[in-house]
Structure 1
Amino acid sequence: MKRTHLPLNGLRVLDAAARHLSFTRAADELAVTPAAVGQQIRALEDTLGVVLFRRTTKGLELTPEGDAGLAALRQGFLEFEEAVRAMQAGQSSKSLTIAAPRDVTEKWLLPRLAAISATDPETRFALVSADEAIDFTEANLDLAIRWGEGPGEYEGEAIESDGLVTVEHPGGSVMTAIGWPGAAGDGATLVRVGDAGLAIDAAAAGLGRATVPEMLAAHDLAAGRVVRVGEAQPSRHGYWLVAPTPQWRQKKVQALVEALGD
């Protein structure tokens, strides 16, 4: 059934005017002019096809038609307020859903979420694998991590990184280049894997050298699983924390972005 269009501004003015029985005092409450209140009431009367107020020698008076709907109207406004509070409660909750490629989750995100949880045990995370397109609506996401030259159509912040590094087994390895989707010049490689995280693991196993995002290799370099070959290389691409504007503005999302950047 098609929902009837509700003249909400006019109904809000009606509620105020009915409580005060004065357009002037209603205008003060609503921070508008008495003339604006009168215009809203006349427009509402035209829309509804009824007279809502009469002027008498004693002042402004509600008609029976105007009085008939007030109880339901005020109950409706209370329910609107409850709905708004329920929607805002999501911002104050400590539950966040994050989408990220599998290797980013394993190599970079999980250790940082563990550190956040250690300082704030009430925080809850739901992790979604997203190696390609991100659908914030379908997955009910709060934040996503994606590879690119910028945030694209979303709000976003770049994750700080030294670019790309080449890594190999600490004892040296064969000179074979380990290829992964997105790796430059991986067409001639003899070893190919599904993502940069697996490329790091293949290098740690001695299968060759992998050129990967520095931020993904940082933990394995620090742990001694792999060693760096040469200097880091700048890259136009990088990982970005992204979200549509409504999600990005949420306090809990901004707090997470700040924490992940530390």
Structure 2
Amino acid sequence: MIDAKLPPLNALRAFEAAARHLSVKNAAEELCVTPGAVSQMLKVLEQHLGVRLFVRVNRGIFLTDAGRDYLPPVRNAFRQIVDASKRVAGSQDSGVLTVSATSFFASAWLVPRMASFRDAHPQIDLQVVTSNALVDFSRSGVDVAFRHGYGHYPGLRSDHVLAVAMAPVAAPSLVERLGLPASAAALVAWPKVQDADRKGWSLWLQANNLTEATLPTGPSFDDTALLQQAVLAGLGAGLLPAAMVAPEIEAGRLIQLAEETHIEAFAYYLVYPEATAEQPKISAFRQWVLEAIGSGVSRSHPR
């Protein structure tokens, strides 16, 4: 049951618009009503609350202290309504499914397979947006995301997609200074550029039966492209997907320091909110992804 003391919605809309523009006239134009109607709604709201929200100076309006305090929660409430409406509208089994992925993963894995998804689900249109940053599902409009990491994201469900070969690489300037390592063991002492979780190098060394004497050090990046740029700048050796750095190695801009290694836990995952996991279009995309990698069985990591 809605509380009878809730202010009129139209009055709240008029308040938010007038506070944003600091103009009754501009608020009226945005809301497609007359300035007199906006003024009346503001008066109703002030009477309802028992406080003044605006002061009128000549032909302008300004927020009172009460108005400034009231504006953020009102604005946030409208944003929550918009977000909730988007989620409800996007819950159908048709329409647009927005997929976030890194540029590398989108071009190397997703795009070449999209025709297969279209043939299997012609009622769902994929919209691919590229980003290296973690997605705020509540605000971005993204439905699912592919991310490279360890698959543990609070409040999200993730499915293991594939582990790619990781290659240790460095800029020629760094190799010239330190010399080409004779073996993987020589990399223990090298300066390193880290992933955001600082686990990639440790896992790579473990996979090669090596351990570091100290905890991993060096700058870290949550953006794979930035990590690659740091390696190119000579800040340290970096661990990057072999297919991603192959063109740089071929062009001589990077040098591979040791054999590439598959690290099963350090992989690409399909990530999506727990709250929307059972939406038909998300379920359809998830099932298609698992089938596309040759596995009908999910290795799911909730929360």
Normalising by structure 1, we get a TM-score of 0.47
Structure with the greater relative contact order (CA < 8 A, sep ≥ 6): 1 or 2? Answer: 2
